[in-house]
Structure 1
Amino acid sequence: MQKKKYDSLSMELQERILEDRKNHVENPYAFPDERVIRRRPDHDRANLWRPAFVRDCEKIMHIPYYNRYADKTQVFSLYKNDDISRRSQHVQLVARIARNIGRVLNLNQDLIEAIALAHDIGHTPFGHAGERMLNDLYHAHTGRYFNHNIQSARVIDRIFPLNISLQTLDGVICHNGELELKEYRPVPYEDFALFDQKMEQCYTDTEAVKRLVPSTLEGCVVRVSDIIAYLGKDRQDAMKLGLFEEDPDYEISSIGTTNAEIINNISVNIMENSYGQNYLKMDDQYFEALKGSKKENYRRIYGNEKLEAVYREQISPMFRDIYEKLLSDYEKKDRSSVIFTHHMDYLYDMTHYYADFAAYEAEDANDIVVDYMASMTDDYFIDLYHYLFPKGRYQVSYVGYFDHEKKMKGEI
């Protein structure tokens, strides 16, 4: 068994941090509550018991779609196993890791938490596979692109127009956990017009999402924490599900191989290199190790052929059939359809007392359908397919809690 490796902050930096705290030294690069920007600045003014970004956190947690994190796939779909990650746990892990880093760097932890809590709220059922499927359908109908990070901002800014701050919204659209960088330098701006422009560019330019850079250091912290949160956890989950015949011999690297090592060591290295700076940075060795570990995950986990076959042969055509049915129903204004009874009527009940619902109704039918489908949990999606198509040809079977034992006994 490999000996575990846990880094610590250098004694020099620890002493410096403790001295700075003793002297109440503030980080000049932290985003101050006083500079919060909202679409309606006359609303949601901060007070002692609900500071600016605490308000964002609470608004996000009370959005009805927040509950749906609990049954959305993180990586591994179609397993009945409460010990593997769903979006709900991933979001909490990102928030915890990011706040740990932010606390040491003396950043705005409320802003960090708000971004982390909302960053995946627009994610589809069935993880990134579902995102690809929904994007293909949306693009085929409209020529526009679907990205879950853009959809997350749409949920908290448009579907539920709760006057969330520009700083939180910017952090959400810029969280791209698929694009690792050695150094993260924020590019500040304080203009909702520019934010709206960035959003629109991501719908029309497939490369635009890759160019997004957070406007705050807090947004940068969440972005890198998204990678830290899933890198080792996905390995842990894959091993729990028995996707490897034996424990995989992951390449030994400076960041470690287990979830606990990876979280600790990358976080510590970022803190060591970033304290007192206007950027986040990793050592070259750690950055290369992070990239290498991510590649190993793609090779061993994310390309799992069994899962891909189910996505390709069963779930993808289910996405297609549901999309076309909902689009047809909405365009015909069939008020008995679930696109109305479970989506439009539901949103009206939730938002009409504070939002201009007529403006939402006037949006393109494809956007309405995408909003509804992206909001679905995995189980809801499958139930809806069988509700809409009771004689449908596509079926999805879950791996049960005791199937592994049955397999070992030769019963299946």
Structure 2
Amino acid sequence: MPKYNSLSKDLQQRILEDRKKHKENPYAFRDENIIRRDMEHDKANLWRPAFVRDVEKILHIPYYNRYFDKTQVFSLYKNDDISRRGLHIQLVSRIARNIGRVLNLNLDLIEAIALGHDLGHTPFGHAGEDFLSKLYFEHTGRYFNHNVHSVRVLDKIIKRNMSLQVLDGILCHNGELEQKEYRPMSLDNFDDFDKKAEACYIDKTNIGHLVPSTLEGCVVRVSDIIAYLGKDRQDAERIKMLKGTEVFSDEGIGSSNAEIINNLSVSIMEHSYGKEYLQMDEVAYNALKLGKVENNEIIYGTDKVRSDYSEKIEPMMKEIYEKLLYDLEKKDSSSIIYRHHINYVNSNNFYTAKDFKYEETKPNDIVVDYIASMTDDYFIDLHEYLFPNSKYKVQYKGYFEHK
């Protein structure tokens, strides 16, 4: 029998009384404190407030469209009922705004961070991220991480004068690290932010030390975990990956997607209202940790999920990487990377960064930017175009194939 927890009656009454008095949350980030690299542009007005501008910048960035054909967990399935990254970011946004509304936080800031947090994700999910990081490190001694690259997309590739608060929330969204408490760490300038981002390229362990500077960023960070924990189980069931022998524990938050979203959200709201940090109770925290371990053992770490990635996608990515790098170093303007990527980036910066010459970027960075921007289908089509005789071929599982 599904169980859906509720906020305590005392807290519900307190929230209603606070709303009647129009009581503000002193720990919410205020629009007037927004920081941009260029403070003379993108000034708020009545119809486009501060962080609404960032939301709309993200929605209209050309790479936003590509969310919808990027793997969340399961690749190479023709199945419209399993999640792509485009749905994931919407779920994160919805969950985070629900929590933020109860806590009386800045909902526009939350939405902007949530919608932008995975813009830098590669095709083929975290497997693709690992393969690209490996190639990048072999060539440069630097690491690729999708959260850092999401910042690069919005701040370096398609320049949109995004706010420090949104970029920081995106950088620090790491949904692979769960915590019982999320306490913001102050950040008030781009110099410190740039150092924090650069440190992640040099030492991959620095990812684990990132902390959002706002409560809103903390809400998105924990909502990222809430959004995928149960949904990935739901997707695994829909592709008939689970045979009925695998059992997910119910340790206080339920085992279904709906229960997990509700019960974790309620725990955070109950234990965070009026505080300068986020917190969940011990039961919810332990259940969250256990749920992630079980997902890894039953879903993410299985041969069914990993085999096609390591046997086919990884060598295909290496072939593409080396070919594109070779073309760049030769300055072959007829190459795909010029025609489909460099020219594309320059054309999308024409009004916002007219003097920006993307082709002067380091070749390995351009190659990484291009591969990370690809959707799954684009990657496969590009590989076939560049290497028609390659021994590496992938085959999608069709709608009408059954086991």
Do 1:270 and 1:282's aligned partners in 2 also have CA atoms closer than 8 Å? yes
CA distance in 2, matches of 1:359, 1:280: 42
Which residue number corresponds to residue 88 of structure 2? 90
Would you say 1:273 and 2:271 are equivalent positions? yes
Q: For residues 50 and 252 of structure 1, what CA distance do their matches in structure 2 show?
A: 44
- Residue 144 of structure 2: which of 143, 146, 156 is its match? 146
Paired residues in the alignment total: 403
- Residue 238 of structure 1 pairs with residue 236 of structure 2: yes
Q: Provide the residue aligned with 2:24 in structure 1.
A: 26
Contact persistence 1:122–1:374 (CA under 8 A): yes
Question: 1:360: how far off?
Answer: 2.7
Offset at 1:244? 1.3
Q: Percent of aligned pairs with the same residue?
A: 65
- Matched residue type, 1:222: V
**2:298 maps to which residue?**
300
Please say if residues 172 and 210 of structure 2, whose CA atoms lie closer than 8 Å, have aligned partners that are also in contact: yes
Within 2, Cα distance between the matches of 1:387 and 1:346?
19
- 1:263 maps to 261
| 8 Å contact from structure 1 (residues 174, 214) kept in 2 | yes
By how many angstroms is 1:306 displaced?
Answer: 2.2
Partner of 2:283: 285
Moved over 3 A (4+): 356-359
Instruction: Name the SS for the 1:242 alignment partner.
Output: coil
How far apart are the structure 2 equivalents of 1:212 and 1:292? 23
Q: Does the Cα contact within 8 Å between 2:299 and 2:305 map onto a contact in 1?
A: no
Structure 1 residue ranges without an equivalent (≥5): 408-412
Match of 1:410 in 2: none
Structure 1 pair 357–120 and aligned structure 2 pair: CA distance change class (3 A): farther
Structure 1 residue 247 displacement after superposition:
6.6
**Deviation, structure 1 residue 361:** 2.2
TM-score (norm 1): 0.97
SS at match of 1:128: helix
Shift of 1:333: 0.6
Q: Is the 8 A contact 1:348 1:357 kept in 2?
A: no
1:398 shift after superposition: 0.7
1:194 aligns with 2:192: yes
CA offsets 1:198-225 (integer angstroms, 9 cap, x no match): 1110000111111000000000000000
**Contact 1:327/1:366 (<8 A) preserved:** yes
Task: Give 1:358 deviation, angstroms.
Answer: 4.2
Q: Please give the TM-score of this superposition, normalised by the length of structure 2.
A: 0.99
For residues 281-301 of structure 1, what are the alpha-carbon distances to aligned partners after superposition, in whole Å with 9 as ceiling and x for unaligned?
A: 011111011000110000100
2:393 to 380, 386, 395: 395
Q: For 2:186 and 2:356, how far apart are their aligned partners in 1?
A: 34
Per the TM alignment, residue 362 of structure 1 is displaced from its structure 2 partner at its CA by 1.8
8 Å contact kept, 2:346–2:356? no
Cα deviation for residue 189 of structure 1 reads: 1.3
Distance 1:224 1:172 in 2: 12
Unaligned runs of 5+ in 2: none
**Aligned equivalent of 1:73, options 64, 71, 77:** 71
Selected match of 1:136 from 129, 134, 147: 134
Per-residue CA deviation, residues 315-369 of structure 1 (Å, 9 max, x unaligned), is 1000000000000001101111110000001111111232155443222100000
